[in-house]
Amino acid sequence: MELLCPSAKRRRSEDLAAGEPPPRATEATEAANLGPTTHSKEPPPPPDAGGGGDVDRISGLPDAVLGEIVSLLSTKEAGRTQILASRWRHVWLASPLVIDGRDLWTKPKIFTAANEALASAVSKILSAHPGPGRRFCVPPHYLHDRPATVDAWLSSPALHNLQELDFWEGKHMVHRYGRPYPLAPPPASTFRFSATLRVSTLSKCELPDSSVEGIHFPHLKQLGLENVSFSEGSLHTMISSCPVLECLLLNGIFGVGCLRISSNTLRSIGVGTDFDCYRDNLHRDNLQLLEEVIIDAPCLERSLYLGSFKPTNFIIISSPKLETLGCLNNDWFERTRLVFGTIIIQGLKVVSLTTTLNSVKTLAVASHNMNLDTVIELMKCFPCLENLYIKSCITGEMNRWRHKHRDFIKSCDIHLKKIVLRYRGIKSQINFASFFLLNARELELMRLEVGNTNYNEAFFAEQYGMLQMEKRASRGMNSTITVYQKADLLLSCKLQTFSSRSSRASSMSSISHQSLRSSGLDS
C-alpha cells in the first residue's frame, strides 16, 4: 500500500482492528481508472519536529466540505478517493457528480477502442453514483453514433439537478470519419435540466424548432453554441429563454442570416465562424452563414469577433460598459463592418468617427499587413485604450513617425499600459515599437514575441539598443522579448471568454470557454 499516507495507513489498521473490511475499489473507481496507475517508490515524508506530520486534518473536515472538495477533482481522481480510507469510502457517492470526458479519454492507437472505453466508463459511473449531478461532458459525436445511449445517460437519476452540460470534442481526438458526420438532434432528455442548468455548450448538432419550443432556462448564465444548425426563429427563441444570460458564444451557427440580440444581463459575447467550423460544413448544401448581428446589451463588457468567411455586419447599439474588443481583422475574406454608435470600422479601416468610445480598455487586432498608421487611427476611436494585442507581425511600410505623427503625439495622451506583438527585429517593427516606447508615458509592459530559431543573446542585446530603451518615456516600464515556439497570441481568445472548460468549479462570474472559449487576451 505504498500510495497511502501515514494517517491513511493508521486508519486502515484501525478499520481492521474494528473488524471493518478494508476499502476496495468499486466498479466506478475501476471505470474511472482508465489509464495506468503509477506507484511511487519514494518513502513518505518524515513527520515534523512537533510530531504533527501524522495528523490527517483533511479527513477531519465535515462531509459537506469533503464532498465539495471531491467534486472539484477530475473524474478519475474523485473516484479514486474511495480507496484512501474508510472515512473517504462514501464521500464520492455523497458529493455532486462530475463526469468529464476529457478526464476519461485516452490517446489511443485505435479510435474505436478509446471510444468504447469512454462510453463504458460513463455508463458504469452513472450506475454507481446516486446523484445529484453537477457537470456532464461527453463528445458530441455520440449524438450521432449512440443516440439511445446518450438518451439513457441523460435520463439517469445520477444527473438529477445537473448544473453544467457540455457536448465537447477535444482537439486531440482523431475522429474516425473521413469526412464530417451528419448533424443529429440531441435527445429530448437533454432539456430536462432546463430548470437547473447554469452552463451549457451544445456542439455539432441540429436543433429543430420543436426541440426548443416552450423551453425556459431560468438560471442559465453561460451558453455556447458551436457548429449548430438552427432556424432563425429557434435561435431567437433559445436566447430569449435565458433571462439571466451573461456569456454567449455563437461559433459556426448555420441556417441563420440575421440575428438580433437584446439582453439586459449579457456581459460577454463571441460571434463568428472560425476555420474549423467552416471546414467541417463546406460539404453541406445551401450553407447559410450569419450576415448581420445586432446587439443591444447595455451591460456588455467583452465582445469577441471570431472571424467569418463571408462579409458580416456586426452592430452594437448600446455598449456604455464595453471594455474588451477583438479580434479586428482586415483579411480579404473577413471584411467585417463593425458599428458602435457613430463609429464604423470596415476591416481595420476607420470609416466614420464623430464620437469616441472611451470605455474600451483592451483591443486585439490581426492582419497580414499591420502598420503604425492603422493602429493610431484605431487609438483615436478608443482614446482610453490600455492593452493592445497584435497577432500579426508588423510589416509593410517603414513606420516612420517622428514628423508624420507629431501632431498626434502633441495633442493626444497615450494611455497604453501593455502591448504584446510578434516580432522579428526588422526596421519597420523597430520603428513601430519605438513609437510607443518613446511616447507612452504610462506603459508598464511591452512584450515582443519572437520565434525560437535564429535568436540569441547577441540579437537581444542589439534590439535593446535599436529600440532606444534608455530613452523610454515610462521609467517604470518592464520590456521583455519572449521566445515562443508557437506564438498563438490571440487564437487563445476563443478559449477564454467562456469559463465552463477552463476550470472544474464553474466560476459563474468569469467569462472564459472554448468560450468565449477569450475575450482573450492574455492576462
The grid coordinates listed for 434 are 519605438
Residue 132 falls inside a structural domain = no
Report whether pLDDT(407) > 80. yes
Which is nearest to 463 in space by CA: 417, 420, 419, 424? Answer: 424
Residue 77 falls inside a structural domain = yes
Highest mean pLDDT among 210-219, 450-459, 477-486: 210-219
Residue 69 falls inside a structural domain = yes
The pLDDT assigned to 217 comes to 95
d(CA 471, CA 449): 22
Which letter does DSSP use for residue 498 in this model? B
Q: How confident is the model at residue 31 (pLDDT cuts 50, 70, 90)?
A: low
* Least trusted range by pLDDT, from 114-123, 204-213, 332-341, 417-426: 332-341
Give the C-alpha distances (Å, rounded to integers) separating 86 from 8, 91, 326, 444. 9, 10, 52, 54
Average the pLDDT over 352-364 and give the result: 92
The pLDDT assigned to 45 comes to 45
The pLDDT assigned to 227 comes to 86
Question: 244-269 pLDDT, tens per residue?
Answer: 999 999 988 888 888 999 999 999 99
Question: Which SS3 state, helix, strand or coil, does residue 349 take?
Answer: strand
> Which residues have a Cβ under 8 Å from the Cβ of 490 and sit 6 or more positions away?
326, 327, 364, 366, 389, 391, 518, 520, 521
Report whether pLDDT(278) > 80. no
Domain range for 69 is 60-95
Residue 6 falls inside a structural domain = no
* Least trusted range by pLDDT, from 250-259, 337-346, 406-415, 505-514: 505-514
Residue 81 falls inside a structural domain = yes
The grid coordinates listed for 512 are 472564459
Average the pLDDT over 53-80 and give the result: 76
Which letter does DSSP use for residue 181 in this model? P
The grid coordinates listed for 495 are 478559449
**pTM (2 d.p.):** 0.77
Residue 80 falls inside a structural domain = yes
Report whether pLDDT(33) > 90. no
Question: 139-186 pLDDT, tens per residue?
Answer: 888 888 889 999 999 999 999 999 999 997 665 554 544 456 678 889
The pLDDT assigned to 286 comes to 62
d(CA 15, CA 290): 63
Average the pLDDT over 339-358 and give the result: 89
Question: Which SS3 state, helix, strand or coil, does residue 135 take?
Answer: strand
CB 266 within 8 A of CB 299: yes
Average the pLDDT over 371-396 and give the result: 86
The pLDDT assigned to 253 comes to 85
Strand partners, 446: 419, 479
Name which residue leads in pLDDT, 331 or 47: 331
> Which residues have a Cβ under 8 Å from the Cβ of 91 and sit 6 or more positions away?
63, 66, 67, 70, 81, 82
Name which residue leads in pLDDT, 506 or 211: 211
Q: How confident is the model at residue 515 (pLDDT cuts 50, 70, 90)?
A: very low
The pLDDT assigned to 517 comes to 36
Mean pLDDT of the chain: 76
Furthest-apart CA atoms within the chain: distance in Å: 89
The pLDDT assigned to 85 comes to 72
The grid coordinates listed for 221 are 448564465
> Which residues have a Cβ under 8 Å from the Cβ of 283 and sit 6 or more positions away?
179, 180
Split into its structural domains, the chain has a count of 1
Residue 136 falls inside a structural domain = no
Q: Dump strand ranges (E) for 343-477.
A: 343-346, 349-352, 362-366, 387-393, 418-422, 445-450
Measured in degrees and rounded to the nearest 5, phi and psi for residue 185 equal -75, 150
Question: 98-143 pLDDT, tens per residue?
Answer: 988 877 766 655 567 777 888 888 999 999 899 899 999 998 888 8
Report whether pLDDT(189) > 80. yes
Question: Which SS3 state, helix, strand or coil, does residue 21 take?
Answer: coil
The pLDDT assigned to 180 comes to 60
Q: What count of other Cβ atoms lies within 10 Å of the Cβ of residue 250?
A: 26
